[in-house]
Amino acid sequence: MTGPLRGMRVLDLSQQLPGPYATFLLAGLGATVTKVEPPSGDAARHLDPELFANVNAGKASVVLDLKSDDGRARLLELARESDVVVEGFRPGVTARLGCDAATLHAIRPELVYCSVSGAGQTGPLAGHPTHDLSLQAMAGAISGDVTRIGVPWVDLATGTSAALAITAAWHAGGGAYLDMSMLDAAVAWTRIKPAGLEPGPEPTYGTLVTSDGERVVVALLEDAMWRRLCAALGWTDWVDDERLARYVDRRTHGAEIRQRLERDVATMTLDEVVALAEQRDLPLGPADATADPVAREQIATRFPSDGDLSPLPAVLLDRLGPAPRLDS
Protein backbone atom coordinates (compact mmCIF):
# COMPACT_ATOMS: atom_id res chain seq x y z
CA MET A 1 0.00 0.00 0.00
CA THR A 2 1.31 3.42 -0.93
CA GLY A 3 0.30 6.84 0.32
CA PRO A 4 1.22 9.37 3.01
CA LEU A 5 0.00 7.04 5.79
CA ARG A 6 1.96 4.03 4.61
CA GLY A 7 3.18 2.22 7.72
CA MET A 8 0.21 3.19 9.88
CA ARG A 9 -1.42 0.07 11.32
CA VAL A 10 -5.04 0.51 12.37
CA LEU A 11 -7.19 -1.76 14.51
CA ASP A 12 -10.84 -0.90 13.95
CA LEU A 13 -13.36 -2.13 16.53
CA SER A 14 -16.16 0.13 15.30
CA GLN A 15 -19.25 -0.77 13.29
CA GLN A 16 -21.75 0.75 10.87
CA LEU A 17 -20.64 4.20 9.63
CA PRO A 18 -18.72 6.87 11.61
CA GLY A 19 -15.76 4.78 12.77
CA PRO A 20 -15.52 2.60 9.65
CA TYR A 21 -15.69 5.71 7.45
CA ALA A 22 -12.78 7.22 9.41
CA THR A 23 -10.68 4.10 8.91
CA PHE A 24 -11.72 3.91 5.26
CA LEU A 25 -10.25 7.38 4.77
CA LEU A 26 -7.08 6.27 6.52
CA ALA A 27 -6.89 3.17 4.30
CA GLY A 28 -7.30 5.36 1.24
CA LEU A 29 -4.23 7.30 2.36
CA GLY A 30 -2.14 4.15 2.74
CA ALA A 31 -2.87 2.80 6.23
CA THR A 32 -3.30 -0.93 6.82
CA VAL A 33 -6.66 -1.51 8.54
CA THR A 34 -7.73 -4.64 10.38
CA LYS A 35 -11.43 -4.73 11.20
CA VAL A 36 -12.36 -6.55 14.42
CA GLU A 37 -15.87 -7.95 14.21
CA PRO A 38 -18.07 -9.94 16.62
CA PRO A 39 -19.06 -13.46 15.58
CA SER A 40 -22.26 -12.08 14.01
CA GLY A 41 -20.29 -9.52 12.00
CA ASP A 42 -20.60 -5.75 11.71
CA ALA A 43 -24.32 -4.91 11.85
CA ALA A 44 -23.93 -2.97 8.60
CA ARG A 45 -23.30 -6.25 6.76
CA HIS A 46 -27.00 -6.98 7.25
CA LEU A 47 -28.56 -3.51 7.64
CA ASP A 48 -26.91 -1.91 4.61
CA PRO A 49 -24.65 -4.23 2.60
CA GLU A 50 -23.84 -1.57 -0.01
CA LEU A 51 -22.72 0.91 2.66
CA PHE A 52 -20.66 -1.83 4.31
CA ALA A 53 -18.93 -2.66 1.03
CA ASN A 54 -18.13 0.99 0.36
CA VAL A 55 -16.65 2.00 3.73
CA ASN A 56 -14.77 -1.23 4.38
CA ALA A 57 -12.97 -1.54 1.06
CA GLY A 58 -9.44 -2.84 1.41
CA LYS A 59 -9.65 -3.85 5.08
CA ALA A 60 -8.99 -7.24 6.62
CA SER A 61 -11.56 -8.84 8.95
CA VAL A 62 -10.80 -10.66 12.19
CA VAL A 63 -13.63 -12.20 14.21
CA LEU A 64 -13.14 -11.96 17.98
CA ASP A 65 -15.59 -12.61 20.79
CA LEU A 66 -14.48 -9.87 23.16
CA LYS A 67 -16.66 -11.33 25.91
CA SER A 68 -14.38 -14.36 25.99
CA ASP A 69 -10.90 -14.62 27.53
CA ASP A 70 -9.44 -15.89 24.26
CA GLY A 71 -10.96 -13.02 22.28
CA ARG A 72 -9.65 -10.38 24.68
CA ALA A 73 -6.20 -11.96 24.73
CA ARG A 74 -6.03 -11.93 20.94
CA LEU A 75 -7.14 -8.30 20.85
CA LEU A 76 -4.29 -7.33 23.18
CA GLU A 77 -1.86 -9.10 20.87
CA LEU A 78 -3.18 -7.15 17.90
CA ALA A 79 -3.06 -3.88 19.85
CA ARG A 80 0.64 -4.37 20.62
CA GLU A 81 1.29 -4.42 16.87
CA SER A 82 -0.94 -1.44 16.03
CA ASP A 83 -0.46 2.32 15.86
CA VAL A 84 -4.14 3.27 16.02
CA VAL A 85 -7.22 1.79 17.66
CA VAL A 86 -10.69 3.05 16.76
CA GLU A 87 -13.70 1.95 18.79
CA GLY A 88 -17.37 2.90 18.62
CA PHE A 89 -18.89 1.35 21.75
CA ARG A 90 -21.01 3.26 24.23
CA PRO A 91 -18.96 4.84 27.04
CA GLY A 92 -17.90 2.26 29.63
CA VAL A 93 -18.14 -0.79 27.39
CA THR A 94 -14.43 -0.97 26.51
CA ALA A 95 -13.51 -0.89 30.22
CA ARG A 96 -15.78 -3.89 30.83
CA LEU A 97 -14.22 -5.68 27.86
CA GLY A 98 -10.67 -4.88 28.98
CA CYS A 99 -9.74 -2.87 25.89
CA ASP A 100 -10.12 0.70 27.10
CA ALA A 101 -7.51 3.37 26.42
CA ALA A 102 -5.77 2.99 29.78
CA THR A 103 -5.37 -0.77 29.33
CA LEU A 104 -4.06 -0.54 25.78
CA HIS A 105 -1.78 2.42 26.48
CA ALA A 106 -0.20 0.36 29.26
CA ILE A 107 0.95 -2.20 26.69
CA ARG A 108 1.43 0.23 23.77
CA PRO A 109 2.14 3.79 25.00
CA GLU A 110 2.52 5.16 21.45
CA LEU A 111 -1.01 4.10 20.52
CA VAL A 112 -3.46 6.66 19.12
CA TYR A 113 -6.73 5.56 20.72
CA CYS A 114 -9.87 7.06 19.20
CA SER A 115 -13.34 6.65 20.72
CA VAL A 116 -16.25 7.50 18.42
CA SER A 117 -19.59 7.86 20.19
CA GLY A 118 -22.94 9.56 19.85
CA ALA A 119 -22.71 12.27 22.50
CA GLY A 120 -19.16 11.89 23.79
CA GLN A 121 -17.65 10.19 26.83
CA THR A 122 -19.04 12.66 29.38
CA GLY A 123 -22.36 14.35 30.14
CA PRO A 124 -25.93 13.22 30.92
CA LEU A 125 -26.51 11.76 27.44
CA ALA A 126 -23.14 10.01 27.13
CA GLY A 127 -24.69 6.55 27.35
CA HIS A 128 -27.88 7.35 25.45
CA PRO A 129 -28.51 5.53 22.14
CA THR A 130 -28.33 7.85 19.16
CA HIS A 131 -28.33 7.91 15.39
CA ASP A 132 -27.57 10.59 12.84
CA LEU A 133 -31.08 12.08 12.91
CA SER A 134 -31.28 12.35 16.69
CA LEU A 135 -27.98 14.26 16.72
CA GLN A 136 -29.25 16.58 14.00
CA ALA A 137 -32.27 17.26 16.23
CA MET A 138 -30.07 18.16 19.21
CA ALA A 139 -28.05 20.52 17.04
CA GLY A 140 -31.18 22.21 15.68
CA ALA A 141 -30.48 21.15 12.11
CA ILE A 142 -33.88 19.65 11.24
CA SER A 143 -36.36 21.71 9.26
CA GLY A 144 -39.76 20.26 8.41
CA ASP A 145 -40.85 16.63 8.35
CA VAL A 146 -38.34 13.83 7.81
CA THR A 147 -39.63 10.52 6.47
CA ARG A 148 -36.53 8.78 5.14
CA ILE A 149 -32.82 8.36 5.75
CA GLY A 150 -30.97 10.87 3.61
CA VAL A 151 -27.24 11.50 3.46
CA PRO A 152 -26.04 10.80 7.03
CA TRP A 153 -23.91 13.93 7.21
CA VAL A 154 -23.34 13.75 10.98
CA ASP A 155 -21.84 10.25 10.65
CA LEU A 156 -19.67 11.37 7.75
CA ALA A 157 -18.60 14.59 9.45
CA THR A 158 -17.60 12.65 12.56
CA GLY A 159 -15.66 10.07 10.56
CA THR A 160 -13.86 12.76 8.57
CA SER A 161 -12.95 14.69 11.72
CA ALA A 162 -11.76 11.51 13.40
CA ALA A 163 -9.51 10.62 10.45
CA LEU A 164 -8.00 14.10 10.52
CA ALA A 165 -7.39 13.99 14.28
CA ILE A 166 -5.90 10.48 14.08
CA THR A 167 -3.56 11.50 11.28
CA ALA A 168 -2.37 14.56 13.21
CA ALA A 169 -1.84 12.57 16.43
CA TRP A 170 0.05 9.81 14.60
CA HIS A 171 2.35 12.29 12.90
CA ALA A 172 2.95 13.96 16.29
CA GLY A 173 4.25 10.69 17.70
CA GLY A 174 1.15 9.02 19.05
CA GLY A 175 0.35 8.37 22.68
CA ALA A 176 -3.00 10.16 22.36
CA TYR A 177 -6.60 9.63 23.39
CA LEU A 178 -9.26 11.15 21.10
CA ASP A 179 -12.87 11.58 22.23
CA MET A 180 -14.76 12.05 18.94
CA SER A 181 -18.45 12.80 19.41
CA MET A 182 -21.11 12.81 16.71
CA LEU A 183 -22.92 15.51 18.68
CA ASP A 184 -19.79 17.67 18.59
CA ALA A 185 -19.66 17.33 14.81
CA ALA A 186 -23.37 18.07 14.42
CA VAL A 187 -23.21 21.21 16.58
CA ALA A 188 -19.97 22.43 15.01
CA TRP A 189 -21.23 22.05 11.45
CA THR A 190 -24.65 23.51 12.24
CA ARG A 191 -23.12 26.61 13.81
CA ILE A 192 -21.02 27.28 10.71
CA LYS A 193 -24.28 28.03 8.87
CA PRO A 194 -26.86 29.11 11.47
CA ALA A 195 -30.57 29.39 10.79
CA GLY A 196 -31.77 32.04 8.34
CA LEU A 197 -31.69 35.73 9.15
CA GLU A 198 -35.48 35.95 9.14
CA PRO A 199 -38.29 33.38 9.47
CA GLY A 200 -40.02 32.24 6.33
CA PRO A 201 -38.85 30.76 3.05
CA GLU A 202 -35.57 31.40 1.29
CA PRO A 203 -36.45 33.63 -1.66
CA THR A 204 -34.43 31.86 -4.36
CA TYR A 205 -33.19 28.63 -2.82
CA GLY A 206 -35.13 25.37 -2.86
CA THR A 207 -37.39 23.27 -5.06
CA LEU A 208 -40.05 24.42 -7.54
CA VAL A 209 -42.60 22.67 -9.78
CA THR A 210 -42.79 23.18 -13.56
CA SER A 211 -45.86 23.17 -15.80
CA ASP A 212 -45.25 19.54 -16.74
CA GLY A 213 -45.16 18.48 -13.10
CA GLU A 214 -41.38 18.12 -12.81
CA ARG A 215 -39.39 19.43 -9.89
CA VAL A 216 -36.43 21.77 -10.31
CA VAL A 217 -33.97 23.28 -7.86
CA VAL A 218 -32.92 26.90 -7.63
CA ALA A 219 -29.76 27.70 -5.67
CA LEU A 220 -29.24 31.43 -6.02
CA LEU A 221 -27.87 33.74 -3.35
CA GLU A 222 -25.46 36.23 -4.93
CA ASP A 223 -26.62 39.77 -5.77
CA ALA A 224 -25.25 39.67 -9.33
CA MET A 225 -26.99 36.34 -9.88
CA TRP A 226 -30.22 37.88 -8.61
CA ARG A 227 -30.05 40.58 -11.26
CA ARG A 228 -29.52 37.92 -13.94
CA LEU A 229 -32.55 36.02 -12.68
CA CYS A 230 -34.70 39.16 -12.79
CA ALA A 231 -33.60 39.86 -16.37
CA ALA A 232 -34.20 36.24 -17.41
CA LEU A 233 -37.73 36.19 -16.01
CA GLY A 234 -38.62 39.68 -17.18
CA TRP A 235 -38.83 41.12 -13.68
CA THR A 236 -38.01 44.63 -14.87
CA ASP A 237 -39.67 46.14 -11.81
CA TRP A 238 -37.29 44.27 -9.49
CA VAL A 239 -33.99 44.16 -11.38
CA ASP A 240 -32.95 47.62 -10.09
CA ASP A 241 -35.19 47.75 -7.01
CA GLU A 242 -33.00 48.91 -4.11
CA ARG A 243 -35.32 47.15 -1.66
CA LEU A 244 -34.10 43.83 -3.07
CA ALA A 245 -30.56 44.70 -4.10
CA ARG A 246 -28.84 42.68 -1.35
CA TYR A 247 -29.43 39.14 -0.17
CA VAL A 248 -30.19 40.28 3.38
CA ASP A 249 -32.90 42.57 1.96
CA ARG A 250 -34.37 39.83 -0.22
CA ARG A 251 -34.44 37.51 2.79
CA THR A 252 -36.90 39.84 4.54
CA HIS A 253 -39.12 39.70 1.44
CA GLY A 254 -38.72 35.95 1.03
CA ALA A 255 -42.39 35.01 0.83
CA GLU A 256 -43.17 37.67 -1.80
CA ILE A 257 -40.23 36.68 -4.02
CA ARG A 258 -40.86 33.00 -3.57
CA GLN A 259 -44.51 33.26 -4.61
CA ARG A 260 -43.60 35.11 -7.79
CA LEU A 261 -40.81 32.68 -8.62
CA GLU A 262 -43.07 29.67 -8.07
CA ARG A 263 -45.77 31.23 -10.25
CA ASP A 264 -43.40 31.97 -13.14
CA VAL A 265 -41.63 28.61 -13.07
CA ALA A 266 -45.06 26.92 -13.06
CA THR A 267 -45.63 28.37 -16.56
CA MET A 268 -42.52 26.66 -17.98
CA THR A 269 -41.67 23.06 -18.75
CA LEU A 270 -38.61 21.38 -17.30
CA ASP A 271 -36.82 21.64 -20.65
CA GLU A 272 -37.59 25.35 -20.83
CA VAL A 273 -36.21 25.93 -17.34
CA VAL A 274 -33.02 24.01 -18.17
CA ALA A 275 -32.59 25.96 -21.41
CA LEU A 276 -33.14 29.28 -19.63
CA ALA A 277 -30.56 28.33 -17.00
CA GLU A 278 -27.99 27.53 -19.68
CA GLN A 279 -28.67 30.69 -21.69
CA ARG A 280 -28.57 33.00 -18.68
CA ASP A 281 -25.89 31.20 -16.62
CA LEU A 282 -28.23 30.51 -13.70
CA PRO A 283 -28.08 27.76 -11.03
CA LEU A 284 -31.37 26.11 -12.02
CA GLY A 285 -31.77 22.45 -12.87
CA PRO A 286 -33.67 19.20 -12.33
CA ALA A 287 -34.30 18.27 -8.70
CA ASP A 288 -33.33 14.72 -9.64
CA ALA A 289 -30.32 15.14 -11.88
CA THR A 290 -29.08 11.57 -11.56
CA ALA A 291 -30.24 10.82 -15.11
CA ASP A 292 -29.11 14.13 -16.59
CA PRO A 293 -26.48 13.34 -19.27
CA VAL A 294 -24.32 16.37 -18.50
CA ALA A 295 -24.43 15.75 -14.74
CA ARG A 296 -23.55 12.09 -15.32
CA GLU A 297 -20.66 13.06 -17.55
CA GLN A 298 -19.34 15.45 -14.91
CA ILE A 299 -19.57 12.82 -12.17
CA ALA A 300 -17.98 10.20 -14.42
CA THR A 301 -15.11 12.61 -15.09
CA ARG A 302 -14.43 12.90 -11.38
CA PHE A 303 -15.31 9.27 -10.52
CA PRO A 304 -14.10 7.14 -13.47
CA SER A 305 -15.71 3.74 -13.86
CA ASP A 306 -16.61 1.17 -16.48
CA GLY A 307 -19.80 2.73 -17.78
CA ASP A 308 -21.57 2.98 -14.43
CA LEU A 309 -21.37 5.73 -11.85
CA SER A 310 -19.27 4.15 -9.13
CA PRO A 311 -19.95 5.41 -5.59
CA LEU A 312 -16.22 5.78 -5.02
CA PRO A 313 -13.34 6.87 -7.26
CA ALA A 314 -12.19 3.92 -9.29
CA VAL A 315 -8.57 4.67 -8.48
CA LEU A 316 -9.35 4.30 -4.77
CA LEU A 317 -11.33 1.12 -5.27
CA ASP A 318 -8.57 -0.33 -7.41
CA ARG A 319 -6.01 0.51 -4.73
CA LEU A 320 -8.01 -0.84 -1.79
CA GLY A 321 -9.83 -3.79 -3.30
CA PRO A 322 -13.20 -5.10 -2.04
CA ALA A 323 -14.52 -5.17 1.50
CA PRO A 324 -13.48 -8.32 3.38
CA ARG A 325 -15.56 -11.39 3.94
CA LEU A 326 -16.20 -12.02 7.61
CA ASP A 327 -12.99 -13.18 9.34
CA SER A 328 -10.78 -12.91 6.27
> Residues with catalytic annotation?
155
In whole angstroms, give the CA distance from residue 203 to residue 170: 47
Question: Residues 199, 205, 211, 214: is their CA dihedral positive or negative?
Answer: negative
Smallest CA-to-CA distance from 208 within 192, 179, 187, 229 is with: 229
Neighbours of 29 (CB within 10 A): 17
DSSP helix/strand/coil, 35: strand
Specify whether the backbone of 110 is left (phi greater than 0), alpha (psi in -120 to 50) or beta: alpha
CA dihedral (176, 18, 288, 225) in degrees, to 10, reads: -30
In whole angstroms, give the CA distance from residue 74 to residue 76: 5
In whole angstroms, give the CA distance from residue 208 to residue 215: 6
Residue 3, φ and ψ in degrees, nearest 5: 130, 170
| Sequence-separated (6 or more) residues with CB below 8 Å from residue 159 | 17, 18, 19, 20, 21, 22, 24, 25, 116
In whole angstroms, give the CA distance from residue 12 to residue 128: 22
